[in-house]
Amino acid sequence: MRRFPSVRIVRRLADEVEYAGEVGLLPSINASEIAEALRGGRRGVIVQLVVPRTVKCKPRTNLTELHLLRCLGRDSAVLDASTHRDLIKRPVHSCGGTVVPAPVWIISSRGIPPNRRVLYTSQEARIMLSAESYCHLSLRRSPCRLEKLWIQNMSRPIANLRIKVAGLPGSREVSVVQRLGPFQYLLTLIPNERITRPISITAFYYDPKTAKKVELRGELPGVEEVYLCEDLEVIQATVGYKVGHPRESNASRITVLDYDRDHRVYRIPVRWIKTKGLVIKVDRQYVRDILGTDTSTLWRALHTLCHAFLSPLPGVAGLDARDFGEALSMRHFEFAVFDNSPGGLGGVEGVVNPRTGVLNRHYELRIIDAKNCPLRCMRACIACLYSESCYMLNWNLDRTILLKLGW
Amino acid sequence: MYPTKALQNDQASVIFSLLWHVNRELRHRGYKATVTVGMLQRYIPHRYTALGKIPRRCELRLKCPHPSCNSRMVMDWELVRVSEKYQVFREKIICSRSDCPLNTPDPLVQEMCRMTREAVYSSPPDILIANPDILNARLNVMGAEDPGALTILGKSAWICPECGTPHGYRPRTCKVCGAKITNIHYKHFSYPRVIVVDEAHQMRGGFGAQVSHLLTRLEEAIRFIKGLQEWRPLYFISSATLNNPEERARELVGAEIESVVLISAKSTGRTETYRVHVFIMPKVYSPEATVGRIFEVIYGGLSSIEQTKRAQLEERIRRVREQIFPDFPKNLPTVLVFANTIAEVNTLLGTARSFTACCPARPRIDGHSTDFKAERVEKEDGFTSGYYHALIATSGLEVGVDFDRVDIGIIYRMPFYITDYTQRIGRIGRRQHCLIFNIFMPDTPVDYFYYKNWKLLCEGELRELSMRNETYRIDRDNVEAVKRSAKRSVIDYIAIQPDAERLLSRSASSLISGSSILQVLEDLLRDPQLLEYVVKSLRTAKRELAKEVAQSFANRLLDDLWTRGTLLRAVKATVSGIRSLRTIEEQVEYDIYDVEDRHRELSYAFRHCTPGQVLSYRGVCLSIDTIDALRVFEYPQRELESEEEL
């Protein structure tokens, strides 16, 4: 068995990365560099697709400062998790007070033009500042050790956040915004995982020679062909992440890529599996003629068609919704629904008659029925098109598209 | 059989307490029989340890059944023998409270409990509390005790009189403690006649299909061992949220629908309790801050209210509180929060603690997720006993674990399925009226749907109807499940043979009853009886597929026998992909600053391992520093770098 992804799937991944650059999910320059390297281009850029084995986590790294903790006890002490490792496992201070993460200032894209909103891990630019760094920058004093950090009045926690710096008299208010170089940093009271949101891209490849064409008894306008692929390659890659205040939208966040500028190496964590799936080719011209050429509408159409196949699958196959995955390809105007496990789970195989190659009639009826919602919802809901296994959180689904396509 | 270890632990306590009283009554009435109970799961200890290693006193999940005491039972150890490799101990189950009558070993408790592996194997209990994974492990010879441990299915064995280790063949001395073993130590055992599958709605999807095969594999193994022909056990399939229960039961045990009898739950006469639902979709505050504010108000803070209106509102809240919680602040309300992810639990933990820091009544709040590993047991106990006032948990706590004293529940983000929601609210207000805050994320379509259709959440009849539409079924004919189970069934077939221990552990060239092991195995694995066994054990319509896979797997084992030396090594080398009933996804280790490590599936890890990404752990935050690669594919110069692959 081959132990590395085929050239075709890597090229497909290149296509998807390039597309992500075109639609603004990734900086276009980086997207095209990654795509070219994946296609074998020799411009000196190397892309490493990494399957992780061990991930090391620290409270403080070159990029982040999450090491400070604040005690909720009476002394409001500021503690350093780098030196008090036991607090990570048992966040209770010696005074008996519970310990919670101290506020941090998160990098923001304010004042940065969209095309400059990218950082590389090798730049070692800080994507968040601790309260200590904040004091150091705002007071222009080094070293700047925090003695206390507390919220004076919980009615307005941010406005009432106070710090006490060693060697300085009295307590100080803090500012929500802090500058460092070209960047502004915004205060968040309790850091959480939503500060960094991964950018993941899925690509799939099937060999048309080995894929079995699946017969449909009825007609699904817009669907060109359906294939059962027993050797479907799926690669999921996290190209980078978007960093920003937890309440900031993705569009206004800064993209961080794991890129070594000196050696021109991109490192991209991946999950690569070979599984079984249905690949559905969509008639691009037909859909365009009906829905127009707007990219976002076409994407929504593809996503909706995909959910028409995905949502009824668990019920018919007898598996959990989480056992399935989906992948869309705008470039090739096709999508795949697959068993989300290496080697498959028997889900997709359960809806195609292996002897005749005909789609299970019950499943086909459920697909056709996707246009009807038992709750008569406006666009999509849990009763019709939503699926627990959707990577896009069920956004941009619209069953009226199916009606427009003539389902 | 329970689907998870948490459930096993939780229910064991109830069963233990019940049996203690039953046995006391039996003795009181002059009966000599004792109904015994045992527990089998991954963390059940052995009676022996390596030399120099003293086993710790271990706290059991059993509560002291004595009417005047409600403390935990503990297991103490008494050294009985030291061999060349091991020290052998004998367990004593006592109450942890020093002034309890059961603090000294009570003969009844010792007789009725089997809380070590050897205790279970040497004398299988009348009631064995197990999970599917441990039973699969025993059938597929995954542990050092196998295949001798199949005494639990009625297989005869030589039992060491000192440590209780079962032996599949007659050794001169015990392989663990070196005690002499003679023919009088050859024991015959009975087999399980009733199989109870609790929380059956959890047996769904791929896991459900494989558990359904496991049940019929167990049956077939028992039939083979005991020479039974048409026997089938009596099954009890139980769940509070199972749609189309007859059909699910039929699928799970591979029975005819006519043989399934539906027994509906009857009212137990419990006082009717009310759940008051509050629905909040915060648009200005963040959802976690909203939860923080709820916590603040529950525990006596009211800081978010404008100063001028505070006194008036405080008075109103005080009056309501006096009615609902008359002992406040002496007895604080208990709050159970459910979140969908570990990250959410950690975020809420930090927020709730921050917001309640200023409350005069200082509540103790903790988390319950896989981050807390074995400490979860302590958290559950602490919450039950009243030490913790609030617990923030993931779905791991939503099934079966019964807390009688939850006053307020918070459902933070909606689960996708209404069944899961029903389970969550089922943990809240079991004995008294309660308040449930439903917090919706404004930017999640699923939450938005439930917010709009809020009646689905709070009206029992609508919930029932909705659950019926949530189709999950068990497909015994699932191709992949049939393939995997067929392979497992081949190993079962070897494990249940009378000479299994020798067949598995001796080299292929050694002799057994005048023939070489290889010859015996060839006869065994190429016998058509094997395929018949596999077909019977799977009860699937895909008989030909099962036969084909079983034969090719058996051939592979025979081929590997030469290179691996023994059949056991060949089995271990080939079962890696079929070990787990739940997943075959690769696991990635997260090293939490050398303090702790946790494992996550690759499907999660590939999205959360880029340097600089934030990762929460038990309420604090860390950041990804470096990653070690299992494999690296490099482009354009593609190379393969992997210690394991090369």
User: What kind and span of H or E run contains B536?
Assistant: helix B528-538
Strongest mean pLDDT among B72-76, B204-208, B407-411 = B407-411
Q: Is B272 within 8 Å of chain A by CB? A: no
Contact B303 A57 (CB under 8 A): no
Q: Is B269 within 8 Å of chain A by CB? A: no
The confidence score (pLDDT) of residue A228 equals 95
Name the residue in chain A with its Cα closest to that of B482: A346
Contact A190 B288 (CB under 8 A): yes
Q: Is A103 within 8 Å of chain B by CB? A: no
Query: What is the total residue count of chain A?
Result: 407
Strands A172-173 and A161-165, sheet pairing: antiparallel
| Residues of B (228-267) whose Cβ lies below 8 Å from A | 251
pLDDT digits (tens, 9 = 90+) for B524-570: 999 999 999 999 999 999 999 999 999 999 999 999 988 888 999 99
The confidence score (pLDDT) of residue B642 equals 43
The confidence score (pLDDT) of residue B646 equals 30
With 60 as the cut, is the pLDDT of residue B644 above it?
A: no
With 60 as the cut, is the pLDDT of residue A167 above it?
A: yes
Q: List the single residue in B303, B611, B613 with the smallest CB-CB distance to A155.
A: B303
Per mean pLDDT, which range of A285-294, B339-348, B477-486 is the poorest?
A: B477-486
| Residues of B (307-336) whose Cβ lies below 8 Å from A | none
Confidence of residue B249 (pLDDT cuts 50, 70, 90): very high
With 50 as the cut, is the pLDDT of residue A198 above it?
A: yes
DSSP secondary structure code for residue A250 in this structure: G
With 80 as the cut, is the pLDDT of residue A164 above it?
A: yes
- Tell me what the mean pLDDT of segment A299-318 comes to: 93
Q: Is B480 within 8 Å of chain A by CB? A: yes
Q: List the single residue in B286, B445, B472 with the smallest CB-CB distance to A395.
A: B445
Q: How far is B416 from chain A (nearest CA, A)?
A: 6
Q: Which residues contact B597 (CB under 8 A, 6 or more apart)?
A: B589, B590, B591
The confidence score (pLDDT) of residue B645 equals 37
- Residues on chain A touching B251 (C-beta within 8 angstroms): 318
The confidence score (pLDDT) of residue B643 equals 38
Mutate to test the interface with B, among A382, A386, A391, A395 (most CBs of B within 10 A): A382
Q: How far is CA B279 from CA A286, B437, B441, B586, in A?
A: 44, 6, 11, 39
Q: Is A89 within 8 Å of chain B by CB? A: yes
Tokens of B635: 């482009």
- Tell me what the mean pLDDT of segment A306-311 comes to: 96
| Residues of A (362-381) whose Cβ lies below 8 Å from B | 374-375, 380-381
Q: List the single residue in B205, B304, B627 with the smallest CB-CB distance to A55.
A: B627
The confidence score (pLDDT) of residue B400 equals 62
Contact B445 A380 (CB under 8 A): yes
Q: List the single residue in A51, A55, A321 with the smallest CB-CB distance to B631.
A: A51
DSSP secondary structure code for residue A252 in this structure: G
CB-defined contacts A:B, below 8 A: 332
DSSP secondary structure code for residue A86 in this structure: H
User: Looking at the DSSP assignment, which residues form a beta bridge with residue A280?
Assistant: A226, A335
Name the residue in chain A with its Cα closest to that of B590: A55
Q: How far is CA B87 from CA A96, A357, B93, B165, B637, in A?
A: 40, 62, 19, 13, 56
- Tell me what the mean pLDDT of segment B90-96 comes to: 93
The confidence score (pLDDT) of residue A315 equals 85
Confidence of residue B637 (pLDDT cuts 50, 70, 90): low
Report the interhelical angle of B479-495 vs B528-538 (nearest 10°): 120
Mutate to test the interface with A, among B387, B584, B606, B637 (most CBs of A within 10 A): B606
Per mean pLDDT, which range of A232-236, B61-65, B502-506 is the poorest?
A: B61-65
Q: How far is CA A111 from the centre of its chain?
A: 25
- Residues on chain B touching A78 (C-beta within 8 angstroms): none
With 80 as the cut, is the pLDDT of residue A279 above it?
A: yes
- Residues on chain B touching A237 (C-beta within 8 angstroms): 606
The confidence score (pLDDT) of residue A2 equals 59
User: What kind and span of H or E run contains B578?
Assistant: none
- Tell me what the mean pLDDT of segment B410-415 comes to: 95
The confidence score (pLDDT) of residue A273 equals 93
Name the residue in chain B with its Cα closest to that of A49: B633
Outline where DSSP puts E strands in A244-378: 254-257, 259-260, 265-282, 324-329, 334-339
Amino acid at residue number A364: E
- Residues on chain A touching B609 (C-beta within 8 angstroms): 52, 55, 238, 269
For chain A, give the percent of residues with pLDDT over 70.
Answer: 100
The answer to whether A252 and B621 are in contact (CB under 8 A) is no
Q: How far is CA A26 from CA A49, A147, A211, in A?
A: 17, 41, 32
With 90 as the cut, is the pLDDT of residue B202 above it?
A: no
| Residue B102: Cβ within 10 Å count | 20
The answer to whether A239 and A17 are in contact (CB under 8 A) is yes
C-alpha span between A74 and A97 (Å, rounded): 7
The confidence score (pLDDT) of residue B324 equals 84
Contact A37 B635 (CB under 8 A): yes
Q: List the A68-71 sheet strands across, edge first.
A: A78-80, A68-71, A99-101
C-alpha span between B297 and B293 (Å, rounded): 6
Name the residue in chain B with its Cα closest to that of A88: B620
Amino acid at residue number B279: F
With 80 as the cut, is the pLDDT of residue B401 above it?
A: no
The burial class, CB within 10 Å (0-12 / 13-18 / 19+), for A350 is buried
C-alpha span between A311 and B437 (Å, rounded): 29
Comparing B320 with A245, the larger pLDDT belongs to A245
Q: Is B605 within 8 Å of chain A by CB? A: yes
Name the residue in chain B with its Cα closest to that of A125: B612
C-alpha span between A79 and B380 (Å, rounded): 29
Name the residue in chain A with its Cα closest to that of B349: A100
For tokens 């690569």, the residue is A272
pLDDT digits (tens, 9 = 90+) for A25-46: 999 999 999 999 999 987 789 9
The confidence score (pLDDT) of residue B640 equals 45
Q: Is A230 within 8 Å of chain B by CB? A: no
Tokens of B252: 């799970």
What ipTM was reported for this prediction?
Answer: 0.94
The confidence score (pLDDT) of residue A275 equals 93
pLDDT digits (tens, 9 = 90+) for B487-515: 999 999 999 999 999 999 999 888 888 88
Confidence of residue B641 (pLDDT cuts 50, 70, 90): very low
Instruction: Identify the CA nearest to B91 among candidates B9, B145, B164.
Output: B164
Confidence of residue B285 (pLDDT cuts 50, 70, 90): confident
| Residues of B (484-523) whose Cβ lies below 8 Å from A | none
Q: How far is A5 from chain B (nearest CA, A)?
A: 8
Q: List the single residue in A57, A154, A190 with the smallest CB-CB distance to B622.
A: A57
Mutate to test the interface with B, among A33, A56, A83, A396 (most CBs of B within 10 A): A56
